[in-house]
Amino acid sequence: MSETTQAAVSAGTLPAFRFSGAETLKHIVLIAGSVIVLLPFYVMLSYSFKSPAEIMQNTGGFFGMQELFRDDYCIKLGKDAVDCMVTPVIYNYTTAFEKAPLLRYLFNGVVVTVSIFLIQVLVALPCAYALSKLRFWGREAIFGLVLFCLLIPVHAIALPLYIMLAKVGLTNTYAALIIPWTISVFGIFLMRQFFMTVPDDLIDAARMDGMSEFSIIWNVMLPTAIPALLAFAIFSVVAHWNDYFWPRIVVTGDRSLFTPPLGLREFKGDADGDNFGPMMATATIIVAPLIVAFLIAQRRFIEGITLSGMK
Amino acid sequence: MTAISLSGIEKSFGATSVLNGIDLDITDGEFLTLVGPSGCGKSTLLRILAGLEAPTSGTVAIGGIAVNDMRPARRNLAMVFQSYALYPHLSVAQNMMTPLKLRDLPLAGRLPVLGPLIARTRYRAIIEQVRDTAQILKIDHLLDRKPGQLSGGQRQRAALGRAMVRKPVAFLMDEPLSNLDASLRIHMRSELAELHRALKTTFIYVTHDQAEALTMSDRMAVMMDGQILQLGAPDEIYNDPRELRVAEFVGAPKINLLPGSVDKEGHARCLDLPLSRVTTDAPAGPVRIGLRPEHLSLCDKDVSESFSGQVVHKENLGADIYLHVAIMNASQRLVVRVSPVEGRTVSFGQTVHVSRERGQAMVFGNDGRRLDLSRSLAEDVAEVA
């Protein structure tokens, strides 16, 4: 994106259009990349608008013809065929909400991601502060352990975690969805790297003013670390909003605890075949909050990522 | 009255020792400067005094009470940092209120929205204090701004304000002017000195800039390699350095140091020129003779006791001109201060003659210690030269 804006700016200042082979090549590569990334989203959005027949036959363009079609499920319920004629887009989205309690899932998603993030911050900030600004024996070793933990994939420890939670009797609760993620090694690492750049003088000044160490963390470090915290928030929220693996493991029976990605399972092949239209409508609804949030926080997001990338 | 006293302070980080036995008594209300090259331990000493660092051994006493185990805030000292260290997310007023809030308000009074309601009278008093201080520093129109919106000088004042509001026992300043541009630094120098006179509080000021130390302080302590080499009034340090390193550090341009020796009569000579007379019982042998640029002047070539050499560099500072003269077959360089009138006629590469004009040459022994002049002979020497 920055490429195109840059090109536009330079085109504005140049007296006339000048063909540049290198620039063209760059744009071809970037456009090809963005097409590859965007294509699944295009298909998802398109399918959420179309009727089953159009999806199967791959006709109807992006929006589909929006011709009425017969809802077989409605016929099964014994209603008159005339009452069962539906518009594809309306059918897809209403089914998404009717067949699965999608609002409940979205609510669960919000509860889980927000609690995870808040507790992660609660844990990561003091840890990062200690690792970056306090001198104590074994600090480097502990930081080494933190880095080591970054290397462990969740899937490797999923089973022991599940067994522990099951023994305590926490499976099928919000706690099971939240507790394993409350200590974010990545968060500790990211905040530690940011805190390293905060001048020591600021902390000394706070000590001279009479702040306790905890008060320094919440009243001095937290406000200065807002950009880094935002970057971390996006990583954390995106990861846990989209997580399918862990909720699938610990939420075994109770559907009222399903998170949005689990909701997609509701449309998985039944006897009457996969119901792609409503499934894609659900997918669209699930990713929409993240996309909206990203668009709102776009500038901050990019700032945060470049910041964490540089330091 | 001794306000602050440091005795036997030692500090080492691992195997490297930073401070080796510092003893320092600071009287109430004085402006004391710790000056030295970077890495000499002056900042560490200040941080030990502030309580931000614990000494390896030794005692810090404030008002006669040992405060080694007291937290920084309880010592009632205020510190101004080189980087100002203002809280970037708070306005100037909030920055200045922070130390007072933490000291004067109960826990409930510090709550964000409810605080001002719970401890209303104390809160008002704090705001009043902040406003008064801001008026003294002429930053009352900046109180609502964030530090990011201020210029360097304004930030400096805000940092001073935050230190002043709590009316501390002493101000500790760690190179507070280093981040300012040259002209503002010189302006703030006089302003700080005036502030000191107005507040009558102890100032302990750390700097690597000998000009700041000379212009502002009542007493200055020259530090090097973790030790105080000499402690005294700026005048004394400049005119009567007890050690070669002190003489070299203080004064800009640097003092001229010539190799020489002490002859039987006690004259310190450089080549054949007798420059000074030291006590006769001084050990014979090689010495270093220090002459400040203002103690030298140009003379005619028939003056018997003079150096002659080529001008290799000319520094024009407007009010003064410093001539760099290569003497003794270009093995030594002599910096001579001349007036603009004199200096105008001197051109690059020209041979000039330099004689000792006034003041006494300082003679340093082989170990860097100053060799004292024999007082009775001091007048003779002036005639000799």
Looking at the structure of chain B, the number of domains it has is 2
Q: B339: which residues sit within 8 A by CB, 6+ positions away?
A: B320, B321
Output the pTM of the full model: 0.79
The residue extents of the domains of chain A are 1-9+19-49, 101-310
Q: Is A12 on the interface with B (CB under 8 A)?
A: no
- In order, the DSSP letters of A119-178 are HHHHHHHHHHHHHHH---TTHHHHHHHHHHHHTS-HHHHHHHHHHHHHHHT-TTSHHHHH
Contacts of residue B50 in chain A, CB cutoff 8 Å?
204, 208
Q: For residue B94, give the CATH number of its domain.
A: 3.40.50.300
> Which of B184, B211, B239 is the last residue before a domain boundary?
B239
* B contact residues 77-106, partner A, Cβ 8 Å cutoff: 77-79, 81-89, 98-99, 102-103
Q: For residue B298, give the CATH number of its domain.
A: 2.40.50.140
Write down the pLDDT at residue A204: 92
In terms of residue numbers, what domain contains B359?
A: 253-384
pLDDT tens-digit series, residues B313-358: 998 888 899 999 998 877 888 899 999 888 888 888 888 888 887 6
Q: Is A292 on the interface with B (CB under 8 A)?
A: no
Looking at the structure, tell me whether residues B188 and B230 fall in a common domain.
yes
Q: Which residue of A has its CA nearest to B176?
A: A201
pLDDT mean by block of 10 residues, chain B; 385 residues: 84 90 92 92 92 92 90 89 89 91 81 77 88 90 90 90 90 90 89 91 93 92 92 92 91 87 75 67 75 86 80 89 87 88 86 78 82 56 43
pLDDT tens-digit series, residues A155-198: 899 999 999 999 999 889 999 999 999 999 999 999 999 999 88
Write down the pLDDT at residue B278: 64
In a domain, B178, yes or no: yes
Tokens of A240: 């846990």
A172 and A250 Cβ atoms separated by less than 8 Å: yes
B84 closest CA partner among B35, B153, B164: B153
Phi, psi of B124 (to 5 degrees): -60, -40
Looking at the structure, tell me whether residues B299 and B230 fall in a common domain.
no
Nearest residue, CB atoms, B83 vs list A199, A210, A220: A199
Beta-carbon-side half-sphere exposure of residue A82 (alpha carbons within 13 Å): 0
Given an 8 Å threshold on Cβ–Cβ distance, is B99 in contact with A210?
A: yes
> Which of B186, B214, B239 is the last residue before a domain boundary?
B239
Write down the pLDDT at residue A2: 47
Looking at the structure, tell me whether residues B273 and B233 fall in a common domain.
no
Helix (H) or strand (E) holding A233: helix A226-241
> Which of B239, B267, B295 is the last residue before a domain boundary?
B239
Query: In this structure, which topology does domain A101-310 adopt according to CATH?
Result: MetI-like fold (1.10.3720)
Rounded to the nearest angstrom, the minimum Cα separation between B53 and chain A is: 10
Looking at the structure, tell me whether residues B226 and B286 fall in a common domain.
no
Give the residue, A304 or A179, on which the prediction is more confident: A179
Q: Which residue of B has its CA nearest to A223?
A: B89
CA distances from A189 to A136, A251, B222 (A): 18, 30, 43
Contacts of residue A223 in chain B, CB cutoff 8 Å?
87-89
B224 closest CA partner among B245, B240, B238: B245
pLDDT tens-digit series, residues A70-110: 777 777 777 777 777 888 888 888 888 887 788 889 999 99
Helix (H) or strand (E) holding B219: strand B219-224
